[in-house]
């Protein structure tokens, strides 16, 4: 995987992050009767018409594609909830509102595969895009404040996709500051070595009078 190709900067492609998100559970409403499905990741079902149950989103998409269920959007994907999150994001320039770790990937999958099950889909899509823009702007503002004295950066409540995008820039920025912004950190080992070389002149010899 792409994340394993460079051990110094672990980064996944958007498709790989989306693949990881497909194990998240969503609620479906089957329209058929079906026995339980025994998977490596767990058992799901049995399924009964009009009785909701939770399954991984990859299974929900597969059943939806075959016309065997409808998908219930998560509670956080309502217009009311997203509007509240957007307002809170704008009012708190230094804080990120708690959202599902895979909210970007989940919303993308549902928009593409279950768009007819999402009420007010255009408004929901617009709100999520606005939330993403506000959060990325906060990240950019935080990166501008990094200095040579920065030893760590804490960004709470970032999502998987946001972390994946920010991480390589953050790592390179800190590496650049340590390399170019703190020359004393680089020169210190050299001066230590030179002092050691001056002091260490080999075994002493006794001075005998002539």
Q: What is the pLDDT of residues 112-155, one digit of tens each?
A: 999 999 999 999 999 999 999 999 888 887 766 665 565 556 67
Q: Is the pLDDT of residue 107 over 60?
A: yes
Cβ pair 171, 9 in contact under 8 A: yes
Tell me which range, 41-55, 152-166, 191-205, is most confidently predicted by mean pLDDT.
41-55
List, for residues 170-190, the tens digit of each pLDDT value. Answer: 666 666 666 665 554 444 444
Sign of CA dihedral 19, 25, 30, 34: positive
Residue with tokens 């219930």: 72
Q: What pLDDT sits at residue 173? A: 63
List, for residues 33-80, the tens digit of each pLDDT value. Answer: 999 999 888 899 999 999 999 999 999 999 999 999 999 999 999 999
- Which of 15-29, 94-108, 151-165 shows the lowest mean pLDDT across its residues? 151-165
Higher pLDDT, 2 or 181: 181
Strand partners, 34: 47
Q: Which of 79, 176, 167, 57 is nearest to 123 (CA)?
A: 79
Q: Is the pLDDT of residue 101 over 80?
A: yes
Spell out the residues 6+ positions from residue 96 whose beta carbon is closer than 8 angstroms to its own: 89, 135, 138, 155, 156, 157, 158
Mean pLDDT score of the chain = 80
Q: Which of 35, 60, 31, 62 is nearest to 46 (CA)?
A: 35
Backbone angles phi, psi at 134, to 5 degrees: -65, -45
Q: What pLDDT sits at residue 28? A: 97
Q: What pLDDT sits at residue 13? A: 83
CA 163 to chain CA mean position, Å? 4
Higher pLDDT, 17 or 210: 17
Spatial separation of the C-alpha atoms in residues 25 and 23, rounded to whole Å = 6
Q: Distances in Å between the alpha carbon of 106 and those of 14, 63, 67, 167, 210? A: 12, 16, 20, 21, 91
């Amino acid at each position: 995987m792409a994340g394993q190709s460079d051990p110094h900067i672990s980064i996944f492609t958007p498709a790989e992050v989306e693949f990881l998100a497909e194990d998240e559970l969503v609620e479906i409403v089957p329209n058929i009767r079906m026995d339980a499905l025994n998977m490596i990741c767990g058992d799901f079902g049995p399924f009964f018409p009009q009785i909701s149950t939770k399954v991984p989103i990859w299974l929900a998409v597969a059943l939806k594609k075959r016309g065997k269920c409808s998908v219930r959007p998560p509670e956080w994907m309502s217009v009311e909830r997203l509007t509240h999150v957007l307002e809170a994001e704008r009012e708190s320039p230094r804080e990120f509102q708690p959202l599902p770790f895979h909210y970007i990937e989940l919303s993308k999958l549902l928009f593409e595969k279950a768009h007819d099950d999402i009420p007010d889909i255009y408004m929901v899509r617009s709100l999520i895009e606005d939330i993403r823009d506000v959060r990325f702007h906060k990240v950019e503002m935080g990166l501008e404040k990094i200095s040579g004295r920065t030893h760590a950066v804490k960004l709470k409540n970032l999502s998987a996709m946001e972390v994946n995008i920010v991480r390589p820039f953050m790592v390179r920025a800190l590496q650049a500051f340590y390399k170019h912004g703190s020359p004393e950190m680089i020169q210190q080992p050299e001066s230590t070595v030179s002092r050691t070389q001056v002091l260490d002149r080999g075994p002493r010899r006794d001075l005998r009078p002539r």
